[in-house]
């Protein structure tokens, strides 16, 4: 089989091995690319997976990219995401941030139990705590200079919807394990693909478009008659795809070749 000539340029490795895509890798110094590569980059209509290093630069140059610069800027940024959701009036659990000098206010604003998170690097359920008493709060505050505190909403499951260019490609319930309040798969949560409501797919699309997140896993929770957007995960796992015998790279490739990605 003759290898197709690459039609697209990528920096990140998400599409490594796709014959239509030339993956150049990420080099922090632009001039580390060969003159031929530089010309190819600058002449390309769009760059795939430019990474955070280059996403802002290409956006400034008005060059198309996938995913969006917002997808990169809000990745692993819980405080920024919460602020964006609030400003866009997207339903979200009641949440507040506190600097160290404001820590004493937490118990005035929230009743036990509540959820506290490390604002960054708390993916896969790490750095997420259920705070039941002042001693646990003190232990949490010793871990961070900025507190991210959120109301605790008891639930057995939440819904993850994965969207590629704002189109849902997979959705499943994440069910919490016994003895844990978290539904994350890496914390023992399990998957359930049954009875996913169709109306939430439309809502997830709306939320993703409003936030301009076009390669994302959105976590949603139904509470008191409405869907709440818990958070956006740009580094969503592949476990759900594996359970359905789906290959994410092929899904993206088909969209790319069909002209529905860029």
Instruction: Spell out the domain ranges in the chain.
Output: 8-66, 94-151, 157-258
pLDDT of residue 48: 98
Cβ proximity of 145 and 94 under 8 Å: no
Q: What residues pair up with 164 in beta bridges, in sequence order?
A: 167, 215
Cα separation, 94 vs 150, whole angstroms: 6
pTM of the model: 0.94
pLDDT of residue 239: 94
Cα separation, 56 vs 239, whole angstroms: 30
Cβ contacts of 63 within 8 Å, gap of 6 or more: 44, 45, 46, 47
Per-residue pLDDT of the chain (262 residues; tens, 9 = 90+): 344 457 999 999 999 999 999 999 999 999 999 999 999 999 999 999 999 999 999 999 999 999 999 999 999 999 999 999 999 999 999 999 999 999 999 999 999 999 999 998 666 567 999 999 999 999 999 999 999 999 999 999 999 999 999 999 999 999 999 989 999 887 789 999 999 999 999 999 999 999 999 999 999 999 999 999 999 999 998 999 999 999 999 999 999 999 999 9
Cα separation, 181 vs 49, whole angstroms: 34
pLDDT of residue 1: 37
pLDDT of residue 122: 63
Cβ proximity of 168 and 201 under 8 Å: yes
pLDDT of residue 255: 97
pLDDT of residue 237: 87
Tokens of 19: 């014959």
Cβ proximity of 220 and 163 under 8 Å: no
The CATH class, in words, for 94-151 is: alpha beta
Task: Quickly name the fold that domain 157-258 has.
Answer: D-amino Acid Aminotransferase; Chain A, domain 1 (3.30.470)
């Amino acid at each position: 089989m003759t290898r197709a000539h690459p039609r697209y340029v990528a920096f990140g490795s998400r599409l490594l091995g796709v014959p239509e895509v030339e993956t150049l890798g990420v080099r922090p110094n632009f001039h580390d690319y060969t003159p031929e590569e530089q010309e190819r980059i600058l002449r390309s209509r769009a760059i795939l997976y430019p990474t955070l290093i280059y996403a802002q630069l290409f956006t400034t140059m008005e060059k198309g990219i996938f995913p969006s610069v917002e997808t990169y800027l809000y990745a692993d940024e819980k405080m920024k995401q919460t602020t964006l959701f609030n400003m866009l009036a997207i339903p979200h659990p009641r949440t507040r941030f506190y600097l160290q000098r404001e820590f004493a206010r937490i118990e005035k604003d929230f009743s036990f139990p509540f959820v506290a998170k490390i604002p960054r690097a708390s993916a896969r359920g790490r750095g997420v705590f259920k705070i039941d008493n002042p001693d646990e709060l003190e232990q949490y505050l010793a871990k961070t200079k900025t507190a991210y505190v959120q109301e605790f909403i008891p639930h057995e499951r939440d819904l993850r919807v994965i969207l590629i260019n704002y189109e849902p490609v997979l959705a499943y319930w994440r069910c919490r394990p016994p003895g844990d309040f978290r539904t994350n798969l890496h914390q023992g949560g399990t998957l359930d693909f049954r009875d996913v409501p169709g109306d939430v797919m439309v809502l997830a699309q709306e939320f993703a478009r409003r936030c301009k997140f076009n390669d994302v896993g959105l976590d949603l929770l139904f509470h008191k008659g409405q869907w709440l957007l818990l958070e956006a995960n740009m580094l969503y796992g592949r476990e759900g795809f594996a359970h359905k015998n789906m290959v994410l790279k092929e899904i993206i490739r088909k969209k790319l070749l069909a002209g529905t990605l860029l």
